[in-house]
Structure 1
């Protein structure tokens, strides 16, 4: 007798949790913004499903590992220490000042790059579930963002240890990191949805995004600071202003600055809020036009 497929078993579990079956009619193909928004709301309401699936993804990835997800924390910590030591010597910046900058930047970058690169393959990787279940498309997006948020939470342990080693006078401003992270997660949703749909239709987009993400790492102030360049004066200081064009710089600042006890200008928040609004509109537009076609493209 043929053994049941793991994908089929997972599909059955999801069907029980969502109250759907394989014989249910497909979701509405209405190409309106209202229909796209309903998909996002319906997917969020199925939080029990994507919370469990996201946690299962982590358990499956580290199924026979002793340390489990802590390997990600260890890898991030080692990377931050190596880069912090190297660039603090190159830029002649005290390690106590530079290492927190690099560490928090790497932690937040891990979430951002994960949403971009993994988001491009989110619907392709869930081909079986998408074809077998008439569930909201956004469920798979929430699942990935939740998984990346769990990785982010694990990596925040590094920041706690760092603050114990290099104490800083953190006031109430550190609480600003909470809405900053919330905005980061909200942006993770639209980034995953938008690039997931586009990369499913055009398969060359995924490797292109991976290459661009690597490039963005070097042009974003993670292992370098704009303040260091400004202090050099001359043309170098002028070039430091180019960092302001990079939206990811502002996303990092609204979280990193409060966490390392540095002041943050209000314009960073306004730029992030503007980018978030534009991104949500782009995601809704992509869903409006192509949401119901994803099942045919995967």
Structure 2
């Protein structure tokens, strides 16, 4: 037999599978390491949105201020609420909700909207997820200016125990204190959850383009089921038990409350922290599973 028989040749090294946990984790690590790239892209998104505008990104703050003021005064009048406490409540609710819904709705388009870069730029897919979260964080930072202004105006009523009801009844909140620092881990938990939502739903939406339309409709429904312009006190005693049941089963409420609660000096129940952390763990497990199985196909789907 010829000495160069294939039996005697050393085996060729197998190419690493595109469906591997190592590649999924490597994508996340490399994406986090490319901070300058996704930070620059996210900032450019904000600049491009307000290009040739005199006030530029300040329109973000102005728009939020007008929305919060108008809605807070209107619903405060309808619900006979205490304006000094209800207006900050609505303001912070809208600010955190905009961050939540932005991470979700723009996360659905994470890979679709970056089609050109995905096809021509050899970058980790997680870069585009981080770009989305960073862009929403910049918008949140602009909107928090409204929170600071409103809080300073009504600080006298917010540092003491207060109620949202005009007659002083209802649930008594502790008031703003050192617990306001809990808003930092609350924000981080929302951002971490936003990351897996943008990754998981971004992959699904890239394959099935009808998903964003379905999620948009669901988000509109969840907005009315989340206490942003209403509270349990405004429902009355007869409906309060049902309202509490709705809140307990609304994941967006728990995400909202872990940041809004500390900013307003409200007590955040352990259930909200548990649900938020649990969603982050389960969500990222699913997101990594999808990254493992479908990461290599995204460039063909966009």
* TM-score bracket for the superposition, by shorter chain length: 0.7 to 0.9
CA distance, structure 1, for counterparts of residue 137 and residue 210 of structure 2: 27
SS in 1 for 2:65: helix
Matches within 5 A, 1:31-70: 31-70=19-58
Contact 2:100/2:256 (8 A) holds in 1 = no
Alignment match of 2:106 (pick from 114, 118, 133): 118
Alignment match of 1:106 (pick from 88, 94, 110): 94
Residue of structure 1 equivalent to 2:296: 292
Alignment match of 2:191 (pick from 185, 193, 196): 185
Asked whether 1:215 is paired with 2:221, we answer yes
CA distance, structure 2, for counterparts of residue 239 and residue 253 of structure 1: 15
SS in 2 for 1:135: coil
CA distance, structure 1, for counterparts of residue 107 and residue 132 of structure 2: 7
Contact 2:183/2:259 (8 A) holds in 1 = yes
1:175-201, Cα deviation, whole Å (9 max, x unpaired): 000110011111111111111111000
1:29-67, Cα deviation, whole Å (9 max, x unpaired): 531333212111110100011111111111111110111
- 4+ residue segments displaced more than 3 Å: none
Asked whether 1:93 is paired with 2:81, we answer yes
CA distance, structure 1, for counterparts of residue 23 and residue 64 of structure 2: 40
Structure 2 residue ranges without an equivalent (≥5): 1-15, 160-175
Contact 1:29/1:292 (8 A) holds in 2 = no
Normalised by the size of structure 2, how large is the TM-score?
A: 0.86
* More displaced 10-residue stretch of structure 1: 184-193 or 146-155: 184-193
Matches within 5 A, 1:248-263: 248-263=252-267
Aligned residues: 270
Matches within 5 A, 1:58-207: 58-167=46-155, 168-169=158-159, 170-207=176-213
Asked whether 1:267 is paired with 2:271, we answer yes
CA distance, structure 2, for counterparts of residue 146 and residue 81 of structure 1: 27
Alignment match of 2:250 (pick from 243, 246, 270): 246
CA distance, structure 2, for counterparts of residue 86 and residue 177 of structure 1: 27
Contact 2:180/2:262 (8 A) holds in 1 = yes
Contact 1:43/1:137 (8 A) holds in 2 = yes
CA distance, structure 1, for counterparts of residue 248 and residue 153 of structure 2: 31
CA distance, structure 1, for counterparts of residue 200 and residue 17 of structure 2: 18
SS in 2 for 1:123: coil
CA distance, structure 1, for counterparts of residue 239 and residue 131 of structure 2: 45
CA distance, structure 1, for counterparts of residue 264 and residue 17 of structure 2: 47
Asked whether 1:279 is paired with 2:254, we answer no
Q: Which has the larger radius of gyration?
A: 2
Contact 2:232/2:240 (8 A) holds in 1 = no
SS in 2 for 1:31: coil
CA distance, structure 1, for counterparts of residue 223 and residue 57 of structure 2: 23
* More displaced 10-residue stretch of structure 1: 29-38 or 262-271: 29-38
CA distance change for structure 1 residues 224 and 29 in 2, over 3 Å: closer, same or farther? farther
Which structure's residues are more often helix, by fraction?
1
Structure 1 residue ranges without an equivalent (≥5): 1-27
CA distance, structure 2, for counterparts of residue 82 and residue 276 of structure 1: 34
